[in-house]
Amino acid sequence: MSMTVLFIILYTSILVSAENCSPRRFGEDSNVCVCNATYCDFVTVQIPQDGQFRVYESSISGQRLETKLYDFDKIIKNNIKLYLNFEKKYQTIHGFGGAFTDSTGININTLSDSTKEQLLQSYFGESGSKYNLGRVPIGGTDFSIRPYSLDDTPDDVSLRDFSLAKEDTDYKIPYMKRALKINKELKFLSASWSAPPWMKTNHNYTGFLGFLKKEYYQIYADYLVKFLEDYKNQGLPIWAISTGNEPADVFALNSVHFNDMGWTPATVTKWVVNNLGPTLLNSTSNETIILALDDQRFDLPWYLHAMHNYDNRIDKYISGIAVHWYMDKYFPIELYDRTHTAFPNKFIIMTEACTGSTFWELKKVRLGFWKRGERYIMSIIDDLNHWVTGWVDWNLALDKKGGPNWAKNYVDSAIIVNSETDEFYKQPMYYAIAHFSKFISRGSVRVDLTHHRSIKSVAFITPENTTVIVLYNKNDKPKNVTIVDPNKGNINVMVSKKTIQTIIYRQ
């Protein structure tokens, strides 16, 4: 019997009894939902009939995607009033997801087959988060058990020894294939953290001012395209490739201590225009698009301006702008608005986020800590309200330490695996993303919804002809809210303290 068939049989048998969260408490405001070989919480989205709307709710007090059905009202009952305007439309959504790192695969590998399937269904299944984006590193990252590239033979300018690593075949490809079978809408995006050290100025995977040597510009482009073609041959075509993960890291005086490689706007533009762009277009992976930056918000929009000023031919090759969230609180979100205004033909997508990454967060994994879920909720709503088209989490699964990580750069994750007990924990961060990913399908369009200082909100119309509204009450007291739909009537809801609600109904 094939592994795929076994997975399907196991999943079918366990889904019958799987309903609500099986909670476990790890302290005040710290609850996880426990999943194992025989039980996991799953929620299938139900679209109500005309005249009604359905609310899905998660909260600091322990609710996890609990649902209630309500009728539209003819009157406005509350002081907080939000008005929908379907005539005013904004960006189209690409989706939501997480990253297939080596560490993710290593942790999933420690689980029994049935528990593995529970985890993958939790992320990609119709009754799970319905993730439709998956990020995959090219070669190693710090979330590997060793630093490596896909051709570590010194001076192998012919790339004769290029090959996918054991990590690709053992930890990434099997779970990417299974995820794609679960959700055929899944698209993959990729990035390289570093070229092979022999191509770099500092001959290392990491370090201060480590750049790609100019004589290797074309060889490195060939290297990346080989990766795309090998994955495509595995039945895993890559939708988008970025110009490189966090190129600004090499400029930090204390530098990062994990895989990195630097680019300036001028050098990356020269390389894309002369090497990567043409090589990709002439390859069998020429459907793969290129994303610029893949770094922090502080690089916007000046980095893109500098690229275009150096050589405006870059516009032909770049389809989107990838950003990370780690410095968001220090730089205004209006930088996204300025970027969209300057480059309206380039979509913006958030490609990496995690909590527990700062040096002052001494406890890297905080099981069930609501505040970390709240950070995700606030970030996603803010990003979506400022032209971001997708939101991709970092590692899909880590262990209780926040690894493994060869550089000891441990962080938190939406799902934490406990291999000793063959179970995993869905954290508040998992449900934070699910409140968007389960309901806002690819092709959804953000529509205008007035804002109020007491409540976070964002609204969409979907290709399935539903309206989806997400609210978050960040306050310590409940808030009564009315949403005025000019076509349907009034939505009167009470949003409890520290509670996220997703509202869905037919257009």
Give whole-number Cα distances, 150 to 45, 163, 197, 360, 490, in Å.
42, 6, 11, 34, 57
Number of C-beta neighbours around residue 91 at 10 A: 18
Number of C-beta neighbours around residue 111 at 10 A: 22
Q: Is 352 a catalytic residue?
A: yes
Number of C-beta neighbours around residue 82 at 10 A: 20
Which residues on neighbouring strands pair with residue 423, listed in sequence order?
418
Out of 246, 361, 420, 464, which one is annotated catalytic? Answer: 246
Q: Is 246 a catalytic residue?
A: yes
| Angle formed at CA 203 by CA 202 and CA 208, multiple of 5 degrees | 30
Query: Of 384, 406, 387, 379, whose CA–CA distance to 345 is shortest?
Result: 387
Residues 6+ apart with CB under 8 A from 12: none
Tokens describing residue 367 = 């099981």
Residue with token string 């009728």: 71
Query: Of 168, 162, 235, whose CA–CA distance to 195 is shortest?
Result: 162
Q: Residues of 207-233 as b/e, b for ≥16 C-beta within 10 angstroms?
A: bbebbbeeebbbbbbbbbbbbbbbbbe
Please state the length of the chain. Answer: 507
Give 361: exposed, middle or buried? Use CB within 10 Å, 0-12, 13-18, 19+.
middle
- Asked if 93 and 443 count as a contact pair (C-beta separation under 8 A), the reply is yes
Query: Which of left, alpha, beta for 202 (phi over 0: left; psi -120 to 50: alpha)?
Result: alpha
Out of 57, 117, 167, 352, which one is annotated catalytic? Answer: 352
Query: Of 380, 396, 389, whose CA–CA distance to 470 is shortest?
Result: 380
Q: Phi then psi for 72, rounded to 5 degrees?
A: -65, 150
As a whole number of angstroms, the distance between CA 178 and CA 128 comes to 14
- Asked if 373 and 432 count as a contact pair (C-beta separation under 8 A), the reply is yes
Query: Of 95, 225, 103, whose CA–CA distance to 175 is shortest?
Result: 103
DSSP secondary structure, 455-499, as one string? BEEEEEE-TTSEEEEEEEE-SSS-EEEEEEETTTEEEEEEE-TTE
As a whole number of angstroms, the distance between CA 405 and CA 437 comes to 28
- Asked if 414 and 372 count as a contact pair (C-beta separation under 8 A), the reply is no
As a whole number of angstroms, the distance between CA 328 and CA 382 comes to 11
Is the link from the previous residue into 404 a cis peptide, with omega within 30 of 0?
yes
| Angle formed at CA 230 by CA 287 and CA 347, multiple of 5 degrees | 35
Beta strands in 279-346 (DSSP E): 289-296, 318-324
Catalytically active residues are 246, 352
